[in-house]
Homo-oligomer: A and B are copies of this chain.
Amino acid sequence: MPELRQNFATKEWVIIATERAKRPEEMATHRAPRNPVSFNPKCPFCPGNESITPPEVMRIPADGGAWNVRVVPNKFAALSRDAQPKRVIHRQRRSIEGFGVHDVIIETPDHAGVLALMPDAEVANTLRCYKSRYNDLCLDHRIAHVTLFKNHGADAGTSLEHPHSQLIASPVISYQIRQRVHEALRHYDEFGECMFCQMIEEELEEKQRIVMLTDHFVALELYASPAPFSTHIYPRRHMASFGDISAAEITDLARTLRTVLAKLYHGLQDPDFNYTIRSAPSEWVGVKYFHWYLSVIPRLTRVAGFELGSGMFINTVTPESAADFLRNVKVEAAVAAAEKV
């Protein structure tokens, strides 16, 4: 029997329709494995081609020698640093010249690198760049919101092989983000608690949707998860803004994220995926009612007309069985096996 479940935070309903379910093994990607080379002389992100990208914004290490992570402006930016964020209103039309910042974070010099298989310490360097750029941009009064995201694979919207993530800083807060913050505030007004902190507490008691628990983070499938194996990583400490993450938490998040990605990589055969960090808009940094999180979305299914027309999603895998499956993907063992081959 299908079930409708409501996401308590966003108020969105999803349909969990297990009659149409496939086993996790059947959902795995069945395509030729990616086999890029470690160095591609034509790749703008490979070492030696630094002059092809726009001038570098930051790098780790900062001393100017060989780099581990580089941040550069996106050459094909969706928003422009040179525009003026002035609002123009004419009858029903509202527009703003396309001001904003669009960075690329090059995660490794290795063209064939994969976050899921990297050492945690290298993933941590990428997260340090996220934090640094995030906080720098939040200080710019023209910026209202910063979105950090990664596209892995063609179905997730990327054609560039070299591992990278992106950041877009926009002069407006999207309607969706604003509504979510408002729903969180409404809950705080009524109950005097962060609805996400409370959700984490309930999920830790229930256990069945937990994928992984570390000192500082919990990875879980949402009770009303909109898509198979979509996994959220929450800081266990209350924090509205990703920019408030501590050095110890970055180390721990690197391990948590890398492990979740490795579970997807080994369990579902390197699926295309996106991840994104949902953090409070800069004007709401420090509020008691919002809680940032990292959302990993494997692209295993297609959005169709029902989702586009209703705003509701159909999930064919229960969050409980997805969590159970991911808990049981033994990452270290799988890595060891892969290394032996």
Contact flags A300-341 to B (C-beta < 8 A → 1, else 0): 001111101111101000000000000000000000000000
Min Cβ gap A101→B in Å is 12
A278 to B305 Cα, complex, angstroms? 11
Q: Which of A280-317 contact B (CB under 8 A)?
A: 295, 297, 302-306, 308-312, 314
Given A170-B310, A309-B277, does the pair A92, B3 have CB atoms closer than 8 Å? no
A188 to B13 Cα, complex, angstroms? 27
Residue of B nearest to A312 (CB): B174
Q: Are A147 and B93 in contact (CB under 8 A)?
A: no
**Interface-side segment among A4-12, A117-125, A232-240, A260-268:** A4-12
Q: Are B310 and A12 in contact (CB under 8 A)?
A: no
Q: Are B275 and A156 in contact (CB under 8 A)?
A: no
Q: Which of A164-186 contact B (CB under 8 A)?
A: 166, 168, 170-172, 174-177, 179
Contact flags A179-221 to B (C-beta < 8 A → 1, else 0): 1000000000000000100110010000000000000000000
Q: Are B176 and A311 in contact (CB under 8 A)?
A: yes
Name A177's contact: one of B78, B304, B310 (CB within 8 Å): B310
* Further contacts, 4 of them, CB under 8 A, given A2-B79, A93-B223: A92-B195, A174-B312, A274-B309, A277-B309
